[in-house]
Homo-oligomer: A and B are copies of this chain.
Amino acid sequence: MGRRRAAAKKDGGAAYQRRRQEILQVAAGVFKEKGLQGASLNEIAEAVGTDRASLYYYVGSRQELFADVIREAVEANVALAEEIRDSLDPSPTKLRRLAVGLMESYAANYPFLYVYIQEDLNRIGDRERTAGAHAMNRKFDAAVIAIIQGGLDDGTLRSGADARTLAFGFIGMLNWTHRWFEPGHPGPGASEIGEIFADMVLEGLVTTRSRSRKR
């Protein structure tokens, strides 16, 4: 079956790829609801409306399915962060572009990327498979740190703190949306949330500038 699947993945044509994408979509929903550990291939097969044996023609394992579900979207976000880092925009503009772009990606790939965020990679268990994901996370974090460090260095940003802590604060605001944001629900949309967070972190919320500053 593994060989048949490998051949089909490579040469299976549009119908095979369409069906496979369909399975990935349904699987993402099951993962979102149950978590990676809680979602069995049987449940995914049931949700797809097929049986486990047929599912194996499209996917090798739950781990592989999960990895496929998120890999493309994660890679695109790392590429976005690195493109922004390497652009000629001033640092504040870079942070704003990143916040809006990431939120738009979370919405466009909903719930794929929130599944990915929700899972603590250290708990997935398969080191080889998660190594790639860890590397992607490190690349993303590094790009955000570099954007902020660039701003501290050229004076477009100021802070008494280190770029790493600031970057994790910024990333945290954005990634925590996996616990409360659902596209299409009432309230600000994805792009707007990105703008709000960029405003909050760049401009600050206090009206009397001197009141709480300790630096």
A→B interface (CB under 8 Å): 33-35, 37-38, 90, 92-93, 95-96, 118, 120, 122-123, 125, 148, 151, 155-162, 164-166, 168-177, 179-180, 187-188, 193, 195-209, 211-215
Contacts and interface: CB of A to CB of B under 8 A. Distances in A.
Contacts of A34: 123
B161 A92 contact: no
Contacts of A156: 206-208, 211
Copies of this polypeptide in the complex: 2
B162 A187 contact: yes
Given A195-B214, A203-B212, A123 B175 contact: no
A204 B197 CA distance: 11
B123 A38 contact: yes
Nearest to A181: B168
A165 B205 CA distance: 13
Contacts of A193: 165
Given A159-B205, A201-B200, A204-B203, A172 B177 contact: yes
Contact of A171 (B120, B176, B198): B176
A102 to B, nearest CB: 13
